[in-house]
Structure 1
Amino acid sequence: MRILLIGATGYLGSVVAEHLSDTGHEVVALTRTPESPSRYAVRPGDLHDPDSLTAAVTSDIDAVINVATPTGDAAVDAAAIDALTAPLRGTDRPFLYTSGVWVLGATGEATAEESSPTNPIPIVGYRPEIERRVLATADHGVRATVLRPGIIHGRGGGIPALLVEWARKQGAPRIVADLNVRWPMVHIEDLADLFGKVVQDAPAGSIWHGVAQPAVPVRELALAAAEAAGVHGEVQLWPLDQAQGELGEPFADALALDQSVDGRKAQDQLGWRPQQPDAVTDVSKGSYR
């Protein structure tokens, strides 16, 4: 497939692009600066310029994957979705939108599935509406799907890298607000593999959770981060109001979010088989050392 990828230079997007290319697809990267060096073909386009997005989805593009970070402006992101999907209508070509498990909110004792209602925290407040906008295009001949990754680890990046940085600076492991918080986790390379399976095989109108471990205790991740940083000591609790003051309220609240999220649907229906190290092992002994 010839796949237009929005967000191909980011932490996740770069690995998705690599995986797609390695498995035989041709990646076309959307970029605001077409003259920038790239191992992939490029198309000009900007999420703030809907006409440029529509122009990029030419008839030779077999699928579109959007892994770009949302702009933070609901109207801009909605217009971008409309622009990217307009040329796909009536063609049954795939459009894959990347959301995230934070749209589910705190899950409590339950484990959230794809059918669970959304209850987004403020940092992703309007994203469920974007998801609905994407999925509605399935009624107009677009093979539209939504993929919600868990907290991503691997290749020394993502949110776990913050835990390592905090441990190194504080001389001890540190977490925000609550020692009992759990995060649903997925290795970035396993997640990239799921992107390939969803864009190839997932039916129109479907939602998928990219989660390999439903509920990893963040306390264990913090201890692993301390090991990677070469420090020791008891886990320090960072009071939420102090974390909000330094990180900003929306992001601090997200880090304090307790979730259990099920990712078995992708394994059962798409044959996804996560194979990379679990999060604690990766952080303590793998790519974060």
Structure 2
Amino acid sequence: MKILLIGATGYIGSAIAENLTRTGHEVVALVRDAAGKGELPYEKRVADLTDPAALGAAVTADIDAVIHAGVPSGDQAVDAAAIDALTAPLRGTDRAFVYTSGVWVLGATGVEPVGEDAPVNPLPIVGYRPEIEQQVLATATDGVRAVVIRPGIVFGRGGGIPALLGNLAREHGEPKYTGAEGVRWPMVQVDDLAELFTLAAERAEAGSLWHGVTQAAVPVRELAGAAGRAAGVVTAPALWPLEEAAAAVGALFADALALDQAVSGQAARDRLGWKPRHEDAVSELANGS
């Protein structure tokens, strides 16, 4: 398949691009500036997510699927217009459009892991994202193989939100985490997540929604301790008061870091044949991943 990838130079998108290439697909990277990203081993097409006309023009007849792993703008109207532009050329063709959302749209989930049928209760930081999800999925009625993936907290390759835990440990001289004592995060390793995106582009049904999660609920205290050890800080993790976290990283992001969730990603294993290989976030973080 020839796949137009939005966000190909980002943390998640770069892993998706590598996985697509490794599995025999041809990547076309959508970039804002053809000269600004340096050399990429992929064909490049230029368009900005704020320019619907350019986005639509990038989805030519030779594109078999589109994967949107770009960063949301924060403006619902802009993001909605981008979705309309990217999916318009796909309507009536059964070509795939795979959109990246996230588990924060679920809000606090309770003790037991929830599946894709759980109601949404989005945090303010992702307040309009469920509406974008529904906009994407609705295109399935117009002949688009529309798919939404909600990744958990992504780790690996020294990046993602867990990398912040290592930085906090170095800054404060002790591992830090915010929220309640038992706060938990659903986790997924970035290369495993990239495999899920490839499977979704290849075989997911139109109108389907998937949780990209390999560990349903990992105690953040354990993650903070592991990240601290990798950073050379071996003291016990300590709670970071939410007010202090908000002052340091912003109130919306601090609330997300404090969110307790348990989310199941079993459906993708059962129905798409997803086979994650990195299922111990604590160990990987402790080893510097």
TM-score over 0.5 for the pair: yes
Q: TM-score range by the shorter chain?
A: over 0.9
Residue aligned with 2:164, SS: helix
Alpha-carbon distance change, 110 to 276 in structure 1, aligned in 2, over 3 angstroms: closer
Q: Provide the alpha-carbon RMSD of the alignment.
A: 0.8
Match in the other structure for 1:143: 145
Superposed displacement of residue 243, structure 1: 0.9
Equivalent of residue 268 in structure 1, options 261, 267, 270:
270
**1:40-59 equivalent positions in 2, closer than 5 A:** 40-59=42-61
Residue aligned with 2:79, SS: helix
- For the pair 1:18 / 2:11, whether they are aligned, the reply is no
Gap runs ≥5 in structure 2: none
Contact 1:2 1:28 in 2 (8 A): yes
1:56-110, CA deviations, whole angstroms, 9 ceiling, x for partnerless residues?
0000000000000100000000000000000000000000000000000000123
- For the pair 1:278 / 2:283, whether they are aligned, the reply is no
Contact 2:91 2:139 in 1 (8 A): yes
Equivalent of residue 181 in structure 2, options 171, 179, 182:
179
Per the normalisation by structure 2, the TM-score is 0.98
Equivalent of residue 133 in structure 1, options 131, 135, 139:
135
1:2-27, CA deviations, whole angstroms, 9 ceiling, x for partnerless residues?
00000111000001001101110000
Gap runs ≥5 in structure 1: none
Per the normalisation by structure 1, the TM-score is 0.98
Match in the other structure for 1:29: 29
1:137-156, CA deviations, whole angstroms, 9 ceiling, x for partnerless residues?
00000000000000001000
**1:133-212 equivalent positions in 2, closer than 5 A:** 133-212=135-214
- Partner amino acid for 2:179? A
- Partner amino acid for 1:32? R
Superposed displacement of residue 245, structure 1: 1.2
Q: Could you tell me how far apart the structure 2 residues matched to 1:215 and 1:239 are?
A: 21
Superposed displacement of residue 277, structure 1: 4.8
- Partner amino acid for 2:229? E
Match in the other structure for 1:89: 91
Contact 2:186 2:218 in 1 (8 A): yes
Superposed displacement of residue 278, structure 1: 1.2
Contact 2:4 2:63 in 1 (8 A): yes
Superposed displacement of residue 170, structure 1: 1.3
Contact 2:215 2:279 in 1 (8 A): no
Match in the other structure for 1:229: 231
Match in the other structure for 1:8: 8
- For the pair 1:77 / 2:79, whether they are aligned, the reply is yes
**1:115-134 equivalent positions in 2, closer than 5 A:** 115-134=117-136
Residue aligned with 1:191, SS: helix
- Partner amino acid for 2:238? Q
Superposed displacement of residue 177, structure 1: 2.4
Count of aligned positions: 287
Superposed displacement of residue 250, structure 1: 0.6
Contact 2:113 2:264 in 1 (8 A): yes
Superposed displacement of residue 286, structure 1: 4.0
